Structure 1
Amino acid sequence: MRILRWLLLPISLLYACITWLRNRLYDHSLLKSRSFQLPVVVIGNLAVGGTGKSPMTEHILRIVKDTFQVAVLSRGYGRRTKGFRYVETNSLATEVGDEPLQIKRKFPNTTVAVSENRCYGIDKLQAQHDAILLDDAYQHRQLKPSFSILLFDYASMLQPMLSLPTGNFRDSLHESKRAQIIVITKCPSNIPEQVKEDIKTRLAKYSAATVFFSRIAYQTIINGQGATLTTEELANKSVLLLTGIANPKPLDAFIRPLAEHVYPLVYSDHHDFSAVDIKHIQEKLQSIQATNKIILTTEKDYQRLPADFCASQPIFYIPIQQEIVHQEGDTFEKLIKEAFSRA
């Protein structure tokens, strides 16, 4: 697969040229972008998936939800519907997408909506809200946000950034100039100071954004009925680790030292679990030769699993949060509150 991607390098060069031209047309107003009177805050990335946009959306909501009437607007990736829809706690992931559904269930008093046309979605929401938070719209240049937060996976900063299809990047690093905040996500516990400075220096060539570093903070394991599972209890269990996310390796690495045995079952990101898949999952669980066994999945994957399956199986999920590191959380919160205060 790696060799094939390198063979596609000429296509990557063509893709990079097309995206560069498109961005310059917007920069010089030859293609039009629309702005709004209320604060419109965008979270996004330059790469394809896996940088932690949904945990960042939730982190920002925790900061602003008690001060501002904020609506979250998403494309609703993976849904089978079209157009503008409000997300309810009893919606299905196939109707609204797994990530918007997860956000609505965690923040039931917050308006969450999906629309592939972001400007139309803002038109529908702006009269009843103080601000709009978009969870994946950095490349949506028809919209001109008042504030942009750009995310980079830590590992991606340590290697060449190549355009699709050879690499994973939709835009070049040059496009980071539009961001006001850049967050390096999924950082290890101890980042060497020199690596941290090298990353900041690399970004400073393209962007004046304030740079923060964050890590994944795994929360208490829980099931659909609210029962929790401690790490001490996990130590005596065999775990079928079910994932359908962009990069399951960090979760696998986190769980392995905690459980007696771990059996990974990996699907593609946003995988739509079919009846055949559910039967396969049940068979895999039954094949584990242990009496004390569970299925453990991510919170995002849990949204897409059938409710009757979750009710009948020993299935738990593990929520995650973004945590700004190096004692810079207060500075981050201050900048976020200022962003949402802008008229």
Structure 2
Amino acid sequence: MLVNYLRLLLLPFSWVYAMAVILRKKLYDWGIMRSVSFNLPIICVGNLAVGGSGKTPTTEYLIRLLDGYNVAILSRGYGRKTKGFILADHRATAETIGDEPLQYYQKFKQVTVAVCEDRVAGVRQLQNNHDVIILDDAFQHRAIKAGFNILLFEFRKLGTLQFLLPAGNLRDVFASRKRADVLLVTKSPVPFLHVAQQASINELQPDNNQPVLHAYLKYGQLQHLYHEEIMPLESIKDFEVFLLTGIANPEPLIEELQKYTQTIKHQAFRDHYAFKQADISKLKTAFVAVTKKEKIIITTEKDSKRLRATGFEDLLVNLPVYYLPIEVELFEEDKITFDELILNYVKSNRRNR
């Protein structure tokens, strides 16, 4: 209730923010502020809200789809303590390039990962040595003109009243969706009924040339934070789970874990939160105090990058700490459409076509 009152108090500031966003949008639409184009395929993955829509697994889906191309990923590197253009290498940590870029770098050795708050400057550094560049979370960064924009919407948020910052989580106006080439509804329920599919299309009101496609989350196997040990999710049935998250929306993860156990103790922090020694000590104390034999600590893959990068090994190394990877998967017909759109765009816009 208190949160709702605070949101109401912040509404006037949201109106001011909305006017600024709309003015900036019009300046780009009218050509007063200019976007820079590049002579190679550039795919932008973005959303209108702050976090939680599945940009990271969608970017990873594109990496797998574009296997065989020389791909670069360019991110702002949110949460890093550095500035300027940085290429990820073996020295990279979450503090130097951010947790999501570090995840890309460690997971996909065949791609180049770079961070730069100035996306135009970043693309100029990468353009000559790559076939295609994926811009991670750059839909609002209109100084650069991406050739293909994928705009994500979380299924459960469609149809709900949402406000612009700071009263809500939207950082752009709903009308901006018209700039996207594909509207991708993520975290859809499985099974996915036709009535739900049609409801999301009606909510988004796409243009005739804007496909609305639907995706869901696919969970992998639990992987130990420090070792190569793997556990299937089914093996934690009736375990006591200590869940540690620093992501925008942990609800889908909680719902997945509840399929196997109802005993979940959740320590939740804000997105990209830099864990502190006191946080991990509190978690360890609570874990050790439980006498039940079947117990486990679970975190997300993104959070695991910050946990491993900030020197918590002495506290966690002897505990059963696992992270749970996720992937984005599209429903069959939508997958065919999406893959064809991406591959055709890249093929038809290659510099040596």
RMSD: 1.7
Q: Secondary structure at the match of 2:84?
A: coil
Match of 2:277 in 1: 275
Partner of 1:329: 335
Deviations 1:160-201 (A, max 9, x none): 232122222111111111110110011111344233223213
**Aligned-residue offset at 1:203:** 2.3
Residue of structure 1 equivalent to 2:346? 340
Structure 1 residues 72-81 or 157-166, which shifts more? 157-166
Aligned residues: 342
**Whole-Å separation in 2 of the counterparts to 1:260 and 1:152:** 29
Corresponding residue for 1:262? 264
Deviates more, 1:27-36 or 1:227-236: 227-236
**Structure 2: which amino acid aligns with 1:20?**
I
Once residues 122 and 44 of structure 2 are traced to their aligned partners in structure 1, the CA distance between those partners, rounded to angstroms, is: 14
Q: Does structure 1 retain, via aligned residues, the 8 Å contact 2:72–2:126?
A: yes
Counterpart selection for 1:303 from 291, 302, 305 = 305
Q: How do 1:101-140 residues align onto structure 2 when only pairs under 5 Å count? A: 101-140=102-141
CA–CA distance in structure 1, aligned partners of residues 51 and 90 of structure 2: 24
Take 1:25 and 1:117, find their aligned partners in 2: how far apart are those partners? 19
* Superimposed CA distance per residue, residues 62-103 of structure 1 (whole angstroms, 9 cap, x where no aligned partner): 00022x111000000011111111113552101110001111
Matching residue within 27, 49, 55 for 1:53: 55
Distance 1:243 1:179, change over 3 A: same
Amino acid at match of 2:324: I
Please identify, of 37-46 and 302-311, the stretch whose mean Cα deviation from structure 2 is larger: 302-311
Per-residue CA deviation, residues 8-67 of structure 1 (Å, 9 max, x unaligned), is 22221121111011011011110111010011110000111100000000001000022x
8 A Cα contact 1:40 1:133, kept in partner? yes
Matched, 1:313 2:314: no
User: For 1:37, which of 39, 46, 50 is the aligned residue?
Assistant: 39
8 Å Cα contact 1:173/1:206 also seen in 2: no
Pairing partner for 2:66 from 64, 67, 77 = 64
**CA shift in 2, pair 1:166/1:237, >3 Å:** same
Counterparts of 1:216 and 1:167 in 2: how far apart (Å)? 25
Q: Which residue of 2 aligns with 1:78?
A: 79
Larger CA deviation: 274-283 vs 121-130: 274-283
Once residues 118 and 232 of structure 1 are traced to their aligned partners in structure 2, the CA distance between those partners, rounded to angstroms, is 42
Q: What fraction of aligned residue pairs are identical, expressed as a percent?
A: 38
Return 5+ residue gaps in structure 1 as ranges: none
- 2:247 paired residue number: 245
Give the distance between the partners of 1:153 and 1:89, measured in 2 at CA.
34
Letter in 2 for 1:174: A
Native 8 Å contact 1:176 1:206 kept in 2: no
State which drifts further: 191-200 or 266-275.
191-200
Structure 1 residues 203-218: aligned runs within 5 Å: 203-204=204-205, 208-218=209-219
Distance 1:325 1:255 in 2: 22
SS in 2 for 1:280: helix
Superposition TM-score, scaled by structure 1 size: 0.95
Indicate the residue corresponding to 2:173 in structure 1.
Answer: 172
The aligned amino acid for 1:336 is I
Distance 2:316 2:104 in 1: 19
Q: 1:293 to 1:155 in 2, by over 3 A?
A: same
The separation in 2 between residues aligned to 1:202 and 1:232, in whole angstroms, is 36
3-state SS in 2 of match to 1:312:
coil
Tell me, which stretches of 5 or more residues in structure 2 are unaligned? none
- TM-score (normalizing by structure 2): 0.92
Per the alignment, in what secondary structure is the counterpart of residue 264 of structure 2? strand
AA of the residue aligned to 1:179: A
1:174–1:206: 8 Å Cα contact kept in structure 2? no
Q: Which amino acid aligns with 2:297?
A: I
Taking a change above 3 Å as real, the CA distance of residues 186 and 205 of structure 1, as seen in their structure-2 partners, is: closer
Query: 1:202: which partner in 2?
Result: 203
Which whole-Å deviations, capped at 9, do the CAs of 1:264-296 have from their partners, x for residues lacking one? 111111110112222112112112221232211
1:13 aligns with 2:19: no
User: Structure 1 CA distance, aligned partners of 2:206 and 2:233?
Assistant: 44
Separation in structure 2 between the aligned mates of residue 234 and residue 59 of structure 1, nearest angstrom: 27
Which deviates more, 320-329 or 125-134?
A: 320-329
Q: Distance in 2 between matches of 1:254 and 1:236?
A: 13
Q: CA deviation at 1:301?
A: 0.4
Partners of 2:190 and 2:283 in 1: CA distance: 33
